[in-house]
Amino acid sequence: MGLPVRRERMLKVTTSTTPGTIHQGVPNLIRLSTRWQFARHACRPALCVTFWQRVDWVDLVDDRGWFETAERIGAESFRTALLQHDRQRFLELFHMQLNKFSLSKLGWRKLGIGGFALAGFAIWAVIPRAESLSVDRSNEDPTVAVAKPSQERLSDSITLQAEFRPYQDILVHAKVSGYVRTINVDIGDHVTAGQVLATLEIPELRDNLRKANAALITSQEEVKRLEANQREAHLAYQRLASVAKDHPKLVAQQDLDDAEAKDAAAQGELGAAQSHIEECKAEVGRIGALVDYSRITAPFNGIVTKRFADLGALIQAGTASDTQAMPLVELAEDDLLRLQFPVPESQAAIASNGRPIAIKVPSLNQSLSGKITRSAWNIDRSTRTMTTEVDVPNVDGKLHAGMYASIQLPIREESALSVPIQALSIGLNPTILVLNKDQQLEERSVKVGMKTATRAAILSGLNQDELVVLGDRSALHSGEKVIGKIVDLPTIPGAQEDNG
């Protein structure tokens, strides 16, 4: 005889409850019984006490409606089976009730007692087993996490914040004033030394250059004329001097002196003209250099980080200190960077050139190594720090100026037997729990040396072949037997295994 739909649903709810969820299945039945109004009348509480003591739910004793329902359908046999611990009889009665009463004859009240009886049997069968399991487990020794001491080289360091800066960073100004005729670069462009960045249009300089060239040519022609005059005056003096020597009475001494003076004057004029030529050449060179300055070139390899001018813009000469000259571009060297960081006054003495440091760039999740390249030597009075720099190559261009980095500056190192910091107790006189060969705990006082963030050096009180307990030990005591489980802690910075 098949169960009605609602009856099958009730049976499924009660029989599908597993031992691990029996305490969840019973409240569901209680809620169903209340919803379908199985318990409305008072009756003797004895059956309730006998039944629910199996699950220690004494607060349900007052739910007496269950027993009135049991009496009406002849459920006294269920009580007897429970009291006699007759499980087989209990199941037979349960199936008899399901086959005897249909949903149409008994309604929700008779169906509810069947679910109630099945829940009671499930609790009756399962709870003793759970209690026995808990008793067995309570007899087992607790398991604790332990670790082996190791000989390691501990290093103490401080963490400093640093910033990447270009090795060279300049504003490129114009030497002469002019209008921008061409500009060949923009922000982000890589340039090489000597590359033309922009060209200025300076018409007056070209006119001045032509004028200087013309003056140079005039001076050169003047020198030619004076050379001819000087040769003529010199020849006239030589003739008179030769005649005067052969015929002393023939040439007057005054004529001889005048010829000599004219020769010397012509020589002087020629020398002045030749000097003027050099002056004209220098002027031509000066103006030519100014014309060359109209072509603005890169002084070193780098990248354009800013651009300030466009085509046709008037650029003032950057030589006058009383004018706010606008630069053309800003240029930074990017293949080599300066990592700059402040060192506190207390550690300034150890920040010597060549000292190795560890670098971590959080934005790239990248770790680097380097050495201190230079320091300012002077302690800043406002911050009480010393500016220190490390040169960092940037061949691949991943590093950018302005990025932050953290610096691990080592202070001291010590090689000793060490344990994880979790093995030490808190206080001025730290202790450790040692798991001896008899699997018993033993509390020892130890002498602690240098500490890092994760490990501590043990100078005395512990051997390398012993095991130490990790973590909270508030529930442990000396002499207790435990089961040790060795845990592998992750490798931490500041501690390296010493194989020597």
Phi first, then psi, for residue 388 (nearest 5°) are -130, 145
Residue positions counted in the chain: 500
CA distance 187 to 182: 16
Q: Are 324 and 282 members of one domain?
A: no
Q: Are 132 and 193 members of one domain?
A: no
307 forms beta bridges with 329
DSSP string, 437-497: TTSBEEEEE-EEEEE-SSEEEEEES--TTSEEE-S--TT--TT-B-EEEE--PPP-TTEEE
Q: Is 410 helix (H, G, I), strand (E, B) or coil?
A: strand
Residue 43: its pLDDT value, please? 37
Supply the pTM of this predicted model.
0.54
DSSP string, 120-161: HHHHHHHHHHHHHHHHHHHTSPPEEEEE--EEEEEEEEEEEE
CA distances from 9 to 32, 33, 37, 116 (A): 12, 14, 17, 14
Q: Mean of the pLDDT values across residues 55-65?
A: 37
CATH number at 188 reads: 2.40.50.100
Residue 187: its pLDDT value, please? 96
Q: Mean of the pLDDT values across residues 292-296?
A: 92
Q: Dump pLDDT digits (tens) for 100-141.
A: 543 434 444 444 444 544 445 444 444 444 444 444 444 567
Q: Is 431 helix (H, G, I), strand (E, B) or coil?
A: strand
Write the CB contacts of 179 (distance below 8 Å, at least 6 apart in sequence). Answer: 200, 201, 202, 312, 313, 314, 315
Helix 65-72 × helix 103-138 angle, to 10°: 120
How many domains are there within the chain?
5
Q: Are 110 and 24 members of one domain?
A: yes
Q: Are 127 and 62 members of one domain?
A: yes
89 exposed, middle or buried (CB, 10 Å; 0-12, 13-18, 19+)?
Answer: middle
**pLDDT > 70: what percent of the chain?**
69
Domain extent, residue 454, equals 414-497
418 forms beta bridges with 150, 457
Q: Are 214 and 121 members of one domain?
A: no
**pLDDT > 90: what percent of the chain?**
39
156 forms beta bridges with 412
In this prediction, residue 431 has a pLDDT band, given cuts at 50, 70 and 90, of: very high
Q: Are 180 and 308 members of one domain?
A: yes
Q: Dump pLDDT digits (tens) for 432-477.
A: 999 988 888 999 999 998 888 888 999 999 988 899 999 888 888 8
Q: Are 46 and 124 members of one domain?
A: yes
CA distance 99 to 181: 107
Domain membership of residue 189 (yes or no) is yes
Q: Dump pLDDT digits (tens) for 42-56.
A: 333 333 333 433 333
